[in-house]
Each structure stands twice: as C-alpha cells, then as structure tokens.
Amino acid sequence: MRSRWFVFAIAALVLIGLGGCATVIKPVPAQDLNPKVKSGALVQKTNNFEMILDTSASMDEPFQWSHYAYTAPMKTTVLEYEQHLARLFNDTIPNIKLTAGLRDFAGQRWLSRNYDTKLWYGMAPYGKEELGKAIYAVNTAGVESPMDKALDAATMDLKPLAGKSAVIVFTDGLEMPKAVASAQAMKAAMKENICIYAVQIGNDPEGTALLSKVVKAGECGVLVNAKDVNTAAGMAAFVEKIFLGPPPPPPPPAAAAPVVVPPVVPAPAEPDKLEAVYFDFDKYLIKPDGREAIKRNAEWLQKNPAKKVVVEGNCDERGTNEYNMALGQRRADAAAKYLMDLGIAKDRVGTVSYGEEKPVCKDANEACWSKNRRGDFVVK
C-alpha cells in the first residue's frame, strides 16, 4: 500500500513539474545591426513594412504536434511561438526611419469576430516598443485562414506610401488557396515597390509549396523556415535582407575635360629666300659648306618648279669698285654653275654683281667683312 502511494506521489510531482515549465519559450537576444548601418557598410533600402500574423485555429494547436516538427515546451501554442519570432524580428530591426504596420488574418468565429483581418498597429511611424506590445496583443480567432484578405488589405495599406515596401507573413501556409492570387494582385498594383517575404511555421510540404508561390509572386522576397530564424544570426540575416543592402557604387569619376586639338594649320610656305653662300677673301671658289647650302637651294627649286632665282655676287669694301664688281660677278657665276650642275635649268637661273654696294655689315673688321663676301639666292 505504501509503495502504491509512493508511485502516485512521484507521478504527481512529475506532472506538476512539467506543468510548471509548460509555456516558457526561451527568449533569443537580438543581434545589433546598428554598427553596420552607422559605419556605412549597409544602407537602408526599404521604407515601409507590414507584418502579417496567422491567427487562424491552427495557431491554437500545441506547438509540439508532429507536423510542426520542433522541440517546444508542452502546451506552448503555435501562436506563442509565432509571437516569439515576431518579437525577435522586431527587436532586430535597426534604428532606421520606417513606416510600419501589423495585421492578422483568421476566419470569423461565430459572433466573437466579425472581420477576417485586423490592423493591430499602424500604419504609423515605426516604434519598436509600440509594435512589440501590439504583437502580444494579437490572439487567435477564426477557423479558416484567409491570408488573401490580409494581403488585399495590406496592398491598400502600403500602396499610398512613398518608397519601397515589404510584407512579412508568419504562417504555416496551410489551407489558404486564394493567397497566391492576392500576392500576384499586390505585385501588379505596386510593381517594383513591393517585396513579399514569408516565415513558415512548421515544415508541412503543402505549406512550403504555397508559400513559395506567394513569395515568388513578389519577385524579390524570400521564404525562410521558423527554425532558421530562431537564432540571433539567422534572424539578423533575414532582417538585413529585407531592410538593408550594400551602399551604391561611387559615382564614376568626372569625365576628363575634352582635349582641345588645335586646328591643323598648314605649315607656311617656305620663304622665297634661299640660303646664301660665303667666300674667302679675294676668292670665288665654292667652299664645302657653300656646296651644302646650294644643294638645299636646288631641292627647294625642284619642289617649286614655277620659281626662278637670281644669284647676287657681293664683296667686302676692300679693293676698288671695278675690281669688286668683277669679283662679285665671278662669285655669282660660280654659284649659279654649281646650281645648274645639280639639275636646275639654265633658264631659271640668273646672275648679277653688286660688288661692295650691298653690305650687310659695315664694321671695319674681319668678322664683318666675312659676312659681306657672299652670294645671295633671290627668288623671282
């Protein structure tokens, strides 16, 4: 008898112990994304968001039921776990300026609820504390799961707002066949300004298939499983994907000032003045440097066949006028002959002597006299 009462006592203590910890969900501390935002490593990409919680009858089920496939305290409901995830999501959002809303969906249950979806918060400037209170004010209501009604209402909530918006749905994804059409209608109404995200509570293949289609309709969101965001790092990655992104690339460097190419100006025609040749005192022989000068003159005349040239013989002041006139002529003739030997026709070459009458320098020294003993090539 004593042993029987002992067994009953032990069983009672076990049940009391299980009941005492039944509804406790261990909180997960949020990861701080603010340092990334402050440093500029990440920048805000979303301006508005609306969370949608499933409050249908399935959310009243004990969380340890097999199709949710999680370890959780006995008697913890799916809604409590859903609220726990929504709270972690809210706590992880960095300090950025947002417009926020919280909506639920559930079918009407007799007369206790006369709506399919209710806006519990917003649309209003985002406040972490206020949204957190609203999350825990939500309760289960109807039997059905009219997610389509919540998406339709969210479209009306978000469409008037400026900037990019995001919808985040927490649900098991079961028994809501019209949801995909409403997600498609939301995308059609808001175009590139909306992305749809979903957190699947549980791992039912039917729910996964439907929520994949809902997210795909938004074209830019993702589907995650509750177990993957029930950690600080997992939820931070999810929140970052929704609200933040890399900074835009720096603007391209300013275009270099166009290089102003000056117009091509034709080289001026060579002047009609050819090189002079110089002679030693009382001589008319062509020196080597004189021959090179005459060759260059001949090349110019060959390029300009319409031109003619007169070779002018000159002397310094020493000697008589008569002598210098004769010497100047010999110098002109010698230079002209060398020019014709280089192929310049005789009828294009003339000669004249100026003796000492056209000095270019009038000082009485050798440096000056050497400049006056010359043959000038004058183009006609």
> What does the pLDDT look like over 15-30, one tens digit per residue?
333 333 344 578 889 9
Which domain-ending residue is among 245, 264, 295? Answer: 245
89 and 144 co-located in one domain: yes
**Mean pLDDT, residues 325-352 taken together:** 95
Task: Give the pLDDT confidence score for residue 345 in this predicted structure.
Answer: 94
Task: Give the pLDDT confidence score for residue 134 in this predicted structure.
Answer: 96
Residue at 260 is within a domain: no
- CATH number assigned to the domain comprising residue 189: 3.40.50.410
> pLDDT category, 89, cuts 50, 70, 90?
very high
215 and 286 co-located in one domain: no
Residue at 57 is within a domain: yes
Helix (H/G/I), strand (E/B), else coil: 355: strand
Task: Give the pLDDT confidence score for residue 86 in this predicted structure.
Answer: 96
Residue 114's domain comprises: 24-245
List, as one string, the DSSP characters of 129-169: HHHHHHHHH-----SS--HHHHHHHHHHHHTTSSS-EEEEE
> Model pTM?
0.60
Sequence letter at residue 206: E
pLDDT higher than threshold 60 for residue 268: no
Residue at 4 is within a domain: no
pLDDT higher than threshold 60 for residue 270: no
293 and 237 co-located in one domain: no
pLDDT higher than threshold 80 for residue 331: yes
116 and 225 co-located in one domain: yes
Task: Give the pLDDT confidence score for residue 263 in this predicted structure.
Answer: 61
> 141-170: per-residue pLDDT in tens?
666 788 999 999 999 999 999 999 999 999
Residue at 299 is within a domain: yes
**Lowest model confidence (mean pLDDT) among 47-51, 187-191, 253-257:** 253-257
Task: Give the pLDDT confidence score for residue 23 in this predicted structure.
Answer: 47
284 and 239 co-located in one domain: no
Residue at 13 is within a domain: no
Sequence letter at residue 331: R
Which domain-ending residue is among 227, 245, 263? Answer: 245
Burial class (CB in 10 A: 0-12, 13-18, 19+), 247: exposed
Which domain-ending residue is among 245, 269, 288? Answer: 245
Task: Give the pLDDT confidence score for residue 15 in this predicted structure.
Answer: 37
Instruction: For helices 128-137 and 78-92, give the axis angle rounded to 10 degrees.
Output: 170
Helix H or strand E segment including 309? strand 309-314
Measured between alpha carbons, how far is 59 from 81 in angstroms, rounded to an integer? 9
> 25-76: per-residue pLDDT in tens?
788 899 999 999 999 999 999 999 999 999 988 887 776 543 444 444 446 7
Q: How many domains does the chain have?
A: 2
**Mean pLDDT, residues 331-335 taken together:** 95
36 and 151 co-located in one domain: yes
For the chain, give the mean pLDDT: 86
- CATH number assigned to the domain comprising residue 335: 3.30.1330.60
Task: Give the pLDDT confidence score for residue 139 in this predicted structure.
Answer: 83
Terminal Cα-to-Cα distance of the chain (whole angstroms) = 152
Give how far the C-alpha of residue 345 lies from the chain's centroid of Cα atoms, to the nearest Å: 73
47 and 158 co-located in one domain: yes
pLDDT higher than threshold 70 for residue 8: no
201 and 160 co-located in one domain: yes
Q: How many helices (H) and strands (E) does the chain have?
A: 11, 12
Residue at 123 is within a domain: yes
Helix (H/G/I), strand (E/B), else coil: 230: coil
Task: Give the pLDDT confidence score for residue 303 in this predicted structure.
Answer: 93
152 and 291 co-located in one domain: no
The two tokens of residue 199 are 């957190």
Distances (CA, A) of 267 to 40, 146, 270, 273, 372: 59, 87, 8, 16, 31
144 and 287 co-located in one domain: no
34 and 96 co-located in one domain: yes
Task: Give the pLDDT confidence score for residue 154 in this predicted structure.
Answer: 96
Task: Give the pLDDT confidence score for residue 273 in this predicted structure.
Answer: 74
pLDDT higher than threshold 80 for residue 115: no
122 and 213 co-located in one domain: yes
> 197-242: per-residue pLDDT in tens?
999 999 999 999 999 999 999 999 999 999 999 999 999 999 999 9
Higher-confidence position of 13 and 324: 324
